[in-house]
Structure 1
Amino acid sequence: MADRSKLPYLVSLIDDDTKEVREEVLKGLSNYGASLEEDLQEFSKALDSQKTNFLKPILENNRRKWLSENWDSWRKQTESSRQLEEAFSLIAKFQYGITYPVKLTRLLDQLAEEFRTLYPFGNEIDLANFLFNFKKMKGEKEDYYNPFNSNLIYVIKERKGLPISLACVYILTAERVSLHVEGCNFPGHFLAKTFLDGEPVYIDCFNGGKMLFEEDFKSIADETYDSLQDILNKETSAKTIIQRILNNLVNAYKNSNDSVNSDFFATLLRTKTRD
């Protein structure tokens, strides 16, 4: 249970020379509660690199507890776009820190404002051109399994990400400027989907916003194309997108030899995201 009055004492003894003292202090910090990271901001100047290293596993465990406790908040949103944005905001706080000052909502607002300034009457295709050509957002090919590729703050700031995270930037920016873009749960390579003169257009956000039409998928064997048509035509829910994002995080952390976080996201996917 949090006792803020003891925090200065605990911080001063994090790296004490005596092992027994350190262990007792770390135990106290481990039991402090969800507000630890926020309360520690007051002592940021006192936290040198050695103290920070002792704190790191405690803060990471604290973030896992925090995310698990707060994860269901995305379900409480009534609109699909709000569900997506809430889930991505939670993931960003988990990875960057609960007190990280940059907000995903503000970054998306800025993209929308810039687009409308440049394209006052722009449509969905103009928005794709804005994001993937003018803003130069692109697929991350060299560091594909970096867990931060599923973090939309990172994706927007670094201008690179996975097919699905880039598509979600497109979807959430479109919603802000009253345009319609949805997800297409294409196997192995998530696509965005919009409509041009009533016909579906698929946007490959990973490859420069390349436009694909249904004819482009017909080179696939007939029996495979028939099953793909169901995927191409089916509406992709926010829950489906979030499940796929979590699965990407499971694999990314596993590829990074971080079994603790890989197992954590696997549990989150299994117990708190599927019905």
Structure 2
Amino acid sequence: MRRLLDDDSPKVRQAVLSELVAWKEDGLRFLSESAQEKTSSGEAALGLLRELGWDDGRDAFRQFIRAFSYELESGFLLLDKVIRPSSDLIVTRQRLDQLAKRCEELTVLPTTLKDRCRTISRVLFHEEGLRGVRADFNQPASSSLSFALEEKHGLPLTLSVIYLLVARRFGLKLDPVELPGHFMVGCFLGKSTFYVDAFERGRMRNPEEVMAFLHRRNLDDSPQWFLPSTVGDVLRRACRNLVHQHLSAGNAESARLFSSFGNEFDEAYRRAS
């Protein structure tokens, strides 16, 4: 296959593209490795990556970090492109739109904040069957939004971000909440604050229950953990997760990449202070 990458024949090029698409992740891996070569085949592989929409999104994500204007959906879709270059941001957005539309279809007015959160949980965790990853926390793909939507499982942070993005489309302004060793969604809109545990299929917890959750695991229950987290901090945590996942998988080069993103965030915050 490699010797055909720089073939100028339109028929050969189309056949190569079709074969690579059929290979899916193996096709991406093959082109990524070929693109490292300083040859005509390497240049052709780079062009094919761009043509297929599989080009590496690391530069775009770095630019996003340096701009210091963080927005949850944009940040996580750009990060998703780094994790899975073959992902399609438009398709991911459309899927989130569809999930929010389904929530609207199930809503009967009048409704409360908790009722609306229960509707989101019904759609994501019962109809769609999204689950927290149990067997392999160290699989880097479990940090990917597109992977979680396709394969129906992900990390607590990943599922929480999906919940937040669907909620936003559904007219709810919820917040990410970083906890020691866990991640939840917080609702600070009404008189009584509550939290949604996306990893536990949308289980709702009041502040006392979250504190008990932390106590059972001998984790820090300081008041700051119960407050909304910034988008930058959530993205930095996602990058730290990916560093750990890649190190556990023996991917030192990928671990260094995501560690470098953490350094970029640190530098962006330093410049802004």
Question: How big is each residue's C-alpha offset from its partner over 1:190-216, in whole Å with a ceiling of 9 and x where there is no partner?
Answer: 111114742111111111211111222
Letter in 2 for 1:198: K
Q: Is the 8 A contact 1:152 1:169 kept in 2?
A: yes
Q: Which residue of the partner structure matches residue 26 of structure 1?
A: 37
When residues 235 and 265 of structure 1 are mapped into structure 2, their CA distance, relative to the original with a 3 A threshold, is same
- Displacement of 1:179 after TM fit? 0.9
Letter in 1 for 2:95: L
- Displacement of 1:243 after TM fit? 0.4
Q: Is the 8 A contact 1:164 1:190 kept in 2?
A: yes
Q: 1:67 aligns with which of 58, 68, 72?
A: 58
Q: Which residue of the partner structure matches residue 103 of structure 1?
A: 91
Partners in 1 of 2:211 and 2:78 — Cα distance? 39
Question: Are positions 1:249 and 2:232 aligned together?
Answer: no
Q: Between 263-272 and 166-175, report the one with greater CA deviation.
A: 263-272
- Displacement of 1:260 after TM fit? 1.0
Q: 1:153 aligns with which of 128, 140, 146?
A: 146
Q: Which residue of the partner structure matches residue 90 of structure 1?
A: 78
Q: Between 92-101 and 148-157, report the one with greater CA deviation.
A: 92-101
Q: Is the 8 A contact 2:80 2:145 kept in 1?
A: yes
Question: Are positions 1:139 and 2:151 aligned together?
Answer: no
Letter in 2 for 1:238: V
When residues 240 and 206 of structure 1 are mapped into structure 2, their CA distance, relative to the original with a 3 A threshold, is same
Residues 132-211 of structure 1: pairs in structure 2 closer than 5 A: 132-195=125-188, 197-211=190-204
Partners in 2 of 1:27 and 1:189 — Cα distance? 44
- Partner-residue secondary structure (3-state), 2:7: helix
Mark the runs of 5 or more structure 1 residues left unpaired by the alignment. Answer: 1-5, 13-22, 43-58
When residues 243 and 226 of structure 1 are mapped into structure 2, their CA distance, relative to the original with a 3 A threshold, is closer
Q: Is the 8 A contact 2:131 2:199 kept in 1?
A: yes
- Displacement of 1:266 after TM fit? 0.6
Partners in 2 of 1:226 and 1:258 — Cα distance? 31
Could you tell me the percent identity over the aligned residues? 22
Letter in 2 for 1:73: F
Q: Between 103-112 and 85-94, report the one with greater CA deviation.
A: 85-94
Letter in 2 for 1:68: D
- Partner-residue secondary structure (3-state), 2:179: coil
When residues 31 and 176 of structure 1 are mapped into structure 2, their CA distance, relative to the original with a 3 A threshold, is same
Letter in 1 for 2:76: F
Mark the runs of 5 or more structure 2 residues left unpaired by the alignment. Answer: 14-33, 110-114
The CA RMSD measured in Å over matched residues stands at: 3.5
- Displacement of 1:88 after TM fit? 2.0
May I ask how many residue pairs the two structures share in their alignment? Answer: 234
When residues 32 and 231 of structure 1 are mapped into structure 2, their CA distance, relative to the original with a 3 A threshold, is same
Q: Is the 8 A contact 2:236 2:265 kept in 1?
A: no
- Partner-residue secondary structure (3-state), 2:182: coil
When residues 77 and 257 of structure 1 are mapped into structure 2, their CA distance, relative to the original with a 3 A threshold, is same
